[in-house]
Amino acid sequence: MNLPFRRGGAGRAAHPTSPLLAADEIAQLAAQAELLGDLHGQREVHDHHAGDWPSAWLGRGLDYEESRPYAAGDDIRDMDWRTTARGGRAFLKIYREERQPILHLAVDRGASLRFGTRRRLKAAQAARVAILLAFAAAQDNTAVGATLWDRHDLELPPLHGRAGALALAEAIAAPCPPLPQTTPTEPLRDLDRLAWLDANLPRGARLVLVSDFAWLETSHEAPLARLAERLDVLAARISDPAERALPDLGLACFHDSSKQGVSWLDTRQPGHAERLRQQLNQRAERLARAGIRLIDIASEVDDLLPLLAHHA
């Protein structure tokens, strides 16, 4: 559902070919990321070194960390035979892998993100969330990569620390004009995107999906669940006030960006707000069934620190 929108941050208008975020706003987000790290109690970047994070992988030739009781399905090649002999029960060796943590941000820039009725576009808020998380991760010596979901998806390989955050900020601030109403829908595209994430992100990586999840259907639950089994996944859902409570516009014309159709709706009729809430709750339930944490972020919110303090 698309409504008349206003571009730019803090209520200022902007041309559709202007950058989604201005340079000064990106600089402010980078500065706020330092506060986000302090709120979350993170250590300074120089306190972290390769090998400080326990590996999700088991193997030989790596640094031994500890032993734990054997569980069905474990690789017997990693058996700790000495501890097994002493304890009278099977134990397995756990290793610490020399690796650097990875944060991957999948940011939706589709048609349903390209409108807003308060302060900014949903796409602009999605960009602000991604930039803030990227710069916060850079302080923690994390490699930052991203995928921008657009008419032509853009993949950004993980880069060490601040370099990855800067690359993301530059790409995501690019102009985000409204998509043509004749753009055909691709129902299988989102399944392909989730499959790409599953195939290309290493086990144990952090994945943040930034979207309004208007595309989310029952068919997406299984691939999302597979991602949640391998990765630390967070869903940041961006919503506009009109999606939470439709304003009284009288008889209004709406364009459905997913079905490429136009319909008229009398917003004075009761029941619209309840249907909108049901849609949002239904999508939240699908994410919950897939085992994915959800955080809701309103597009009109300026201060993102309280919302993201426990998720950086």
Give 285-297 pLDDT, tens digit per residue: 999 999 999 999 9
The residue among 277 and 270 whose pLDDT is bigger is 277
Map the chain to HEC letters: CECCCCCCCCCCCCCCCCCCCCHHHHHHHHHHHHHHHHHCCCCCHHHCCCCCCCCCCCCCCCEEEEEEECCCCCCHHHECHHHHHHHCCCEEEEEECCCCCEEEEEEECCHHHCCCCECECHHHHHHHHHHHHHHHHHHCCCEEEEEEECCCCEEEEEEEHHHHHHHHHHHHCCCCCCCCCCCCCCCCHHHHHHHHHHHHCCCCCEEEEEECCCCCCHHHHHHHHHHHHHCEEEEEEEECHHHHCCCCCCEEEEEECCCCEEEEEECCCCCHHHHHHHHHHHHHHHHHHCCCEEEEEECCCCCCHHHHCCCC
Residue range(s) in the chain whose domain bears CATH number 3.40.50.410 = 23-44+100-308
pLDDT of residue 29: 95
pLDDT above 70: residue 72: yes
The residue among 204 and 226 whose pLDDT is bigger is 226
Lowest mean pLDDT segment, chosen from 33-37, 79-83, 107-111, 218-222: 33-37
pLDDT above 60: residue 7: no
Q: What is the CATH number of domain 23-44+100-308?
A: 3.40.50.410
pLDDT of residue 127: 97
The residue among 142 and 260 whose pLDDT is bigger is 142
The residue among 185 and 67 whose pLDDT is bigger is 67
Mean pLDDT across the stretch 55-81? Answer: 70
pLDDT of residue 275: 79
pLDDT above 50: residue 135: yes
The residue among 49 and 240 whose pLDDT is bigger is 240
pLDDT of residue 57: 45
Contact between 107 and 147 (Cβ < 8 Å): yes
* Phi–psi pair at 139, nearest 5 degrees: -65, -25
pLDDT of residue 42: 45
The residue among 57 and 81 whose pLDDT is bigger is 81
